[in-house]
Structure 1
Amino acid sequence: MPEWQVEEGIGERRALLLDGETPLAAGLHWPGEIQAGDEFEGKLLRKTGARGTAQHPSGREVLVDKLPRDASEGANYLFAITRGAMTERGRFKLPAARPVSTIAGTLSDPSANARSVRRFPPGVWEDIWHAASSGEVEFAGGSLLFAVTPAMTLIDIDGDLPPRELSLAAVPQIARWLTLFDLGGSIGIDFPTLQTKSDRKAVDSALEEALSGFSHERTAMNGFGLVQIVARLHGPSLLHRFATSRIGMAARMALRRAEMVEGPGATLLTVHPALRPRLGPEWIAELERRTARPVRVAIDPGLAIEAATAQIVPHDD
């Protein structure tokens, strides 16, 4: 049976749903974030109709909706987070919540009770991370290009196959990477233009089957090859994090690489200059505690931001 596993990393909690060593879904949480499924008692600060803002115990404001008619400003209510905070180009979106009494079912993180492991199977997290970093996924005959915008995430399909074959080859990859990137919200898929209704229907049918286990709503393909998917957005996807916090993502990956190297001596972590300010003393101290080795940080302007390296070097007594 597929199983959620987590790595409790330095500065982040990484989660994978694994079937053996095959990843089915991924998730990422940074400490201090308010995330979907969290319940809190908060004061209703402002109310306009069924919407308003409430104060989280952390002091931060949270957008709320589905408020009952008799809800009063200044009163305390039990809320559940439906979407974490989102940073987008040029703006910051507050977390969103609803009164617990209005929510049917659960909003909890499916990886909340995952099994903790020291490390995932070799290369699995790295492959997903690099794909999210580049925004490109290759498959036989083509590729998917992902672009995050404030309005939606766009998926463009490119390749050398004939349009029908390329579209059908892309469908299972789209279904796979939606969950590996932890995507939600509004998602637009730009398929190659298909001239006949029968071809468009074939792709629609393949997409329906491939996404049967993915909770969403979807439009039929229009004459220009565009399909829109809407799925529950519970927080920033891996693609969103790279779009708004690339240096933070790269700094945490640098620490992961340093934590994973083994052997006696000292850890030499070499990073792009932009990463050095993000590697604070608390993170370095935690890295030394976990590895039982001293850590040296070197700067190399020739490295890409995502290309930090870690190795064991002799320990200077």
Structure 2
Amino acid sequence: MTDWLAEHGIGEQRFVRIANGEITDACIHLEGTPSAGEIRQARIKAVRPQALASDGSFEFLLPGGAGGLHEGATASIEVTREPIPGAEPWKRPLARVVEAGTTGKAPKAKPIPFPAPDDDLERAGWSDLLEEARSGLINFPGGTLRVSVTPAMTLIDVDGVGRPDDLAQAAARAAAAAIRRHAIGGSIGIDFPTVQGREIRQRLGEIVDAGLEKPFERTAVNGFGFLQIVRPRRFPSLFELATDRPGFEARALLRRAARLVGSVRIACHPAVAAAFRPDWLEQLGRQVGGSVTLRDDAALAISGGHASQA
């Protein structure tokens, strides 16, 4: 298995694994948010009905309880899931109470320079990966996966042509690869074409097993072609990050703009322009070695922003 690579950008840190010239695994950590595996000092805010802790900047859900501590007590907590985009209370970061002095479990990744003359991520398909995340559409030979994020689970629907057995097997390979490539965790449902016979349904499960890294659990494919998978969920998936479209597009624009040299002009949809933080533009100016001009243009699509040399 290839090593993880880490590219530190403006507003986000990008983690990827690349094999045979293509991105096989990816996730994005948003700057300023708690990192999975990080140890923080927090105050127990509530014990019941839901245990909560706060470090002054973020409120953490404690699914395993407060470890016998009372409200107001201080505790060391380990972040077990980074926050998920959205306003719903359950999308807050998750944590667990740990013993004082516990060491954090930062992900092991080899830093790669950015910006650099060679764009390893782009060559491996980074822009295509972002387009899949924003559109929810993933093409594979003979069909398309349609990915939808719901409060209960991430759903993957299969559309395509050809014999149902062949389409379902191709979709199983594509779905397993997409789950890894987009860091989809938690509960996942795959709706395959209806196939006849226990043998082919068992084969679909075996293909998924071969394409995913453990740990995970899954059901068998039922008679209606539905398979459910449950994977650890430490990070938001790229599809979940893309639900905050203005921020998602602003950070994607920053990555492209950072490869320019000298003064830079950025034009984008007003909603995207509003998502740019002043410190992001200051960092960009230092990286490119020139001034940065941001212009909003309502005629542009939300994903139609562009950056150019001034």
TM-score by length of 2: 0.89
Q: Which residue of 1 aligns with 2:166?
A: 165
Task: Please say if 1:296 is aligned against 2:271.
Answer: no
Match of 1:71 among 65, 69, 72: 69
- 1:75-94 maps to which residues of 2 (within 5 A)? 75-88=73-86, 93-94=91-92
Q: Which residue of 2 aligns with 1:7?
A: 7
- 1:149-160 maps to which residues of 2 (within 5 A)? 149-160=150-161
> Can you list the C-alpha shifts for 1:127-179, whole angstroms capped at 9, x where unaligned?
11111111111011011110000110000011002111001111221121111
Unaligned runs of 5+ in 1: none
Q: Which residue of 2 aligns with 1:208?
A: 209
Bigger mean CA offset, 286-295 vs 253-262? 253-262
Q: Is the 8 A contact 2:189 2:228 kept in 1?
A: yes
Task: Please say if 1:225 is aligned against 2:240.
Answer: no
- Secondary structure of the residue aligned to 1:250 is helix
- 1:189-200 maps to which residues of 2 (within 5 A)? 189-200=190-201
Q: Which residue of 1 aligns with 2:235?
A: 235
- 1:1-317 maps to which residues of 2 (within 5 A)? 2-19=2-19, 21-48=21-48, 52-56=51-55, 58-67=56-65, 70-88=68-86, 93-100=91-98, 108-110=105-107, 112-119=108-115, 120-121=119-120, 122-123=122-123, 124-211=125-212, 213-243=213-243, 245-262=244-261, 266-313=263-310
Bigger mean CA offset, 245-254 vs 85-94? 85-94
Q: For residues 136 and 89 of structure 1, what CA distance do their matches in structure 2 show?
A: 25
Q: For residues 43 and 90 of structure 1, what CA distance do their matches in structure 2 show?
A: 22
Deviation, structure 1 residue 287:
1.0
Question: Which letter does structure 2 place at the counterpart of 1:82?
Answer: T
Deviation, structure 1 residue 209:
2.1
Q: For residues 225 and 78 of structure 2, what CA distance do their matches in structure 1 show?
A: 38
Q: For residues 144 and 109 of structure 1, what CA distance do their matches in structure 2 show?
A: 32
- Secondary structure of the residue aligned to 1:73 is coil
Give the number of equivalent residue pairs.
303
Question: Which letter does structure 2 place at the counterpart of 1:73?
Answer: E
Q: For residues 300 and 289 of structure 1, what CA distance do their matches in structure 2 show?
A: 25
Percent sequence identity over matched residues? 34
Question: Which letter does structure 2 place at the counterpart of 1:258?
Answer: A
Question: Which letter does structure 2 place at the counterpart of 1:248?
Answer: G
Bigger mean CA offset, 26-35 vs 266-275? 266-275
> Can you list the C-alpha shifts for 1:104-131, whole angstroms capped at 9, x where unaligned?
x998353x54323215423422111111
Q: For residues 170 and 22 of structure 1, what CA distance do their matches in structure 2 show?
A: 19
Deviation, structure 1 residue 71:
3.1
Q: For residues 59 and 256 of structure 1, what CA distance do their matches in structure 2 show?
A: 27
Over 3 Å counting, the alpha-carbon distance change for 1:146 and 1:259 in structure 2 is: same
Q: Is the 8 A contact 1:270 1:309 kept in 2?
A: yes
Over 3 Å counting, the alpha-carbon distance change for 1:67 and 1:268 in structure 2 is: closer
> Can you list the C-alpha shifts for 1:177-211, whole angstroms capped at 9, x where unaligned?
11111110100000001122222122122222222
Q: Is the 8 A contact 1:217 1:231 kept in 2?
A: yes
Q: Is the 8 A contact 1:85 1:92 kept in 2?
A: no
TM-score by length of 1: 0.87
Over 3 Å counting, the alpha-carbon distance change for 1:307 and 1:69 in structure 2 is: closer
Deviation, structure 1 residue 68:
7.2
Unaligned runs of 5+ in 2: none
Task: Provide the aligned C-alpha RMSD in A.
Answer: 2.4
Deviation, structure 1 residue 20:
5.6
- Secondary structure of the residue aligned to 1:222 is coil
Q: For residues 66 and 5 of structure 2, what CA distance do their matches in structure 1 show?
A: 39
> Can you list the C-alpha shifts for 1:45-76, whole angstroms capped at 9, x where unaligned?
32238x611222x3432121434774333332
